[in-house]
Structure 1
Amino acid sequence: MPSYEWLIEKGIGETRAALLADDTIVQARIETDSSALRAGSIIDVRLSDSANATGRTLATTDKGDSVWVASVPRALTQGSLLRVEIIREAVTERGIIKPPHARPALPDALPKEGASLEMRVKASGYPVSYQQNHQPDRLEKLGWSEVIEQARCGDIDFPGGRLRMALTPALTLFDIDGHLGSLDLALKGTEATAKALILFDIGGSIGIDIPGLSGKSDRQKVAECFDQHLPPPFERTGVNGFGFLQIIRQKKRPSLPEQIAAYPIEHEARQLLRQACRAKGAGKRILTASHFVIDCLNRHPDWLEALARESAAEIILKADPMRPIYQGDVAVEFPAF
């Protein structure tokens, strides 16, 4: 059996956590320091509309944010107050923010905030370690940047092939491609997909496009392979004659790919801050990046102040309009003596 350990890094603007299995990252999580409602939060909302075709009712928080509430008691009318539990956090799709989903809270429930990433990690039952900026970068040594790049671009290599992951409004889609024999490729690709779902915390509706399966027996082997590598609970169809498998998993919060896709500039700005925190030397930190990333940093003076405190150095921002947003770098200008 592998040895499991959570490794947490509390960065500027976000907390990062990785579940390690014998020094392999099997789960990667990021939680930003935002004020978004977390899953598990219990709050009071005011009903602002009647139930729609899905049975959900639109409500608003005391801050004016929208929440979809399921199973509202019939006796409550528009304008009524209701205590609810957040069961799915807000999700952003192509610039559209889908409000959180909630349900009526238990009668004796008191208002509270949902568990943070750090709290959830500590409740997992696995040992927990923390990584500080002055310590060796275990996350990077174990492939953190590669995992983040997979989540960002959607290309995930496995022995003999590659997964191509695409985010759509309806589902997260995986396409299996490679040079192995049809059944071997399907089995390895399906295993890799199941591991990606765990790695990135992908829930909701998921589809896998599996090429070249010739018969019912092969399709059944692929479905059984998927079951072996993805822990329950989940629901799935069989692999149909077109080689498509659909899965439904519980979704409490945006997956890591969805987080990055929803706010790519903010994500890259925080990754640049991570680089700057770990840059060696006592001189000025010169952060060079796309002007979009630099503008983002300028809109977060608290991030820059935290970096200045962490590095005990002056911070200089340089915008390069020719750079993609994901190609920032950090230089240290050593003082002249």
Structure 2
Amino acid sequence: MAEWLVERGIGEDRALLVEGDQTLAAKLHWPGDLFAGQILPARLTTRRSGSNRGVASTANGLEILIDKLPHDVTEGSKVSVTLTRAPIAERGRLKLAQGRVSEAGPSPDALASLAAREVRRFPAGLWEEVWDGASSGEIAFVGGSLLFSTTPAMTLVDIDGDGSPRELALAAIPALARALRQFDLGGSIGIDFPTIADKAGRKAVDAALGEALADWPHERTAMNGFGFVQIVARLEGPSLLHRMATSRIGAAARMALRRGELVEGAGVTLLTVHPALKAKLKPEWLAELEKRTGRPARLETDPGLAIEAAQAQIIAA
């Protein structure tokens, strides 16, 4: 039976929906970041005449797009806002947070809605598989691969491989359905399937895609003559792919700390990282690593390492 597990890391909280030895879905939260469901005090700064939409601002200047405003809430009113979408960093801009006026109350934990079981460690290899896929933006399947890229307008998925267009498209669907959940994707998603000339073939792919995504809330178009399908799903915050696209060094630094936690033995934890990661590894994070492992930690840099290829090992004190 599928179960959500939460692992409290250094600088991030991770969640996996696990069934047996398979990961069905994943979520990631960085403490201090805003999240959907969080409740914030704010002041309504703008309300369009005759509209139930407006803009509210928090004390620290965060702007929140508000919809479904009650009639009696006017400009300048103090309001309590429940976020429906966290702000999302994109290339060259910030997609503003969205929210609704609600009764004040305690803000839940970012992962509280999952009703998850907290564990010290995920089963071996499961988080690494998800993280590596998000980092590379590529998922392999028998006969081909999925290539993911993020843009301000949508997340794009290109399907490439061998075999006839219909065979390749059908073979890609199980991996695609799994990746959408593992990367916690939402918003507008464009899928570029191979071009299938016959209408019957396109209908077969549409049917298979519908079955694979039956329990994942979304809307989608039928495949057009060029093999393109658009999916729209609820967007609550940055996906794992967006994290990698806009905060790659920060994500790699947190992964380096996780690797430091995983190594076992007596001595000193030596973290060797690309120089770009050094500034991201906060002193308090390294202190937490020492506390969790019961070992001193030492940090070294190696410009020959890839950003994602931090190494952790035990050396003599």
TM-score, L = length of structure 1: 0.87
Q: Select 1:130's aligned residue among 85, 99, 119.
A: 119
Aligned partner of residue 12 in structure 1, secondary structure: coil
CA deviation string 1:175-199 (max 9, x = no partner): 1111022111111223322221122
Q: Name the residue aligned to 1:254.
A: 238
Q: Select 1:120's aligned residue among 113, 118, 135.
A: 113
Q: Distance in 2 between matches of 1:85 and 1:33?
A: 18
Q: Distance in 2 between matches of 1:33 and 1:77?
A: 33
Question: Would the aligned equivalents of 2:12 and 2:29 in 1 still touch at CA under 8 Å?
Answer: yes
Higher deviation after alignment, 317-326 or 144-153: 317-326
Question: Would the aligned equivalents of 1:43 and 1:112 in 2 still touch at CA under 8 Å?
Answer: no
State the AA in 1 paired with 2:260.
A
Question: Would the aligned equivalents of 2:275 and 2:303 in 1 still touch at CA under 8 Å?
Answer: yes
Question: Would the aligned equivalents of 1:37 and 1:114 in 2 still touch at CA under 8 Å?
Answer: no
- Tell me if 1:329 matches 2:311: yes
Q: Name the residue aligned to 2:39.
A: 42
Q: Select 2:204's aligned residue among 215, 221, 225.
A: 221
Counterparts of residues 10-29 of structure 1 (less than 5 Å): 10-29=8-27
Q: Name the residue aligned to 1:302.
A: 284
- Tell me if 1:245 matches 2:229: yes
Question: Would the aligned equivalents of 1:287 and 1:316 in 2 still touch at CA under 8 Å?
Answer: yes
Assess, with a 3 A threshold, how the Cα gap between structure 1 residues 44 and 324 changes in structure 2: closer, same or farther. same
Counterparts of residues 1-337 of structure 1 (less than 5 Å): 3-34=1-32, 36-51=33-48, 56-73=53-70, 76-105=73-102, 109-117=103-111, 119-122=112-115, 128=117, 130-132=119-121, 138-140=123-125, 143-230=126-213, 231-297=215-281, 300-335=282-317
Assess, with a 3 A threshold, how the Cα gap between structure 1 residues 307 and 291 changes in structure 2: closer, same or farther. same
Assess, with a 3 A threshold, how the Cα gap between structure 1 residues 332 and 151 changes in structure 2: closer, same or farther. same
Question: Would the aligned equivalents of 2:275 and 2:302 in 1 still touch at CA under 8 Å?
Answer: yes
Q: Distance in 2 between matches of 1:20 and 1:77?
A: 46
Aligned partner of residue 149 in structure 1, secondary structure: helix
Q: CA deviation at 1:48?
A: 2.3
Aligned residue pairs total 315
Give structure 2 stretches of 5+ with no counterpart: none
Q: Distance in 2 between matches of 1:23 and 1:68?
A: 41
- TM-align CA RMSD: 2.1
Aligned partner of residue 46 in structure 2, secondary structure: coil
Question: Would the aligned equivalents of 1:5 and 1:129 in 2 still touch at CA under 8 Å?
Answer: no
Q: Distance in 1 between matches of 2:306 and 2:54?
A: 42
Q: CA deviation at 1:315?
A: 1.6
Aligned partner of residue 19 in structure 1, secondary structure: strand
Q: CA deviation at 1:61?
A: 1.0
Q: Distance in 2 between matches of 1:294 and 1:210?
A: 41
Question: Would the aligned equivalents of 1:44 and 1:111 in 2 still touch at CA under 8 Å?
Answer: no
Question: Would the aligned equivalents of 1:39 and 1:114 in 2 still touch at CA under 8 Å?
Answer: no
CA deviation string 1:216-253 (max 9, x = no partner): 11111111111101124211111111111111111112
Assess, with a 3 A threshold, how the Cα gap between structure 1 residues 302 and 255 changes in structure 2: closer, same or farther. same
Q: Distance in 2 between matches of 1:55 and 1:321?
A: 53
Assess, with a 3 A threshold, how the Cα gap between structure 1 residues 48 and 64 changes in structure 2: closer, same or farther. same
Question: Would the aligned equivalents of 1:206 and 1:247 in 2 still touch at CA under 8 Å?
Answer: yes
Q: Distance in 2 between matches of 1:332 and 1:94?
A: 38
Question: Would the aligned equivalents of 2:195 and 2:225 in 1 still touch at CA under 8 Å?
Answer: no
Give structure 1 stretches of 5+ with no counterpart: none
Q: Distance in 2 between matches of 1:156 and 1:265?
A: 21
Assess, with a 3 A threshold, how the Cα gap between structure 1 residues 287 and 51 changes in structure 2: closer, same or farther. farther
Question: Would the aligned equivalents of 1:95 and 1:262 in 2 still touch at CA under 8 Å?
Answer: no
CA deviation string 1:232-289 (max 9, x = no partner): 4211111111111111111112211112222111111111111111222221122111
Q: CA deviation at 1:168?
A: 0.8
TM-score, L = length of structure 2: 0.92
Q: Distance in 2 between matches of 1:165 and 1:70?
A: 31
% same residue: 35
Higher deviation after alignment, 61-70 or 242-251: 61-70
Q: Distance in 2 between matches of 1:160 and 1:79?
A: 59
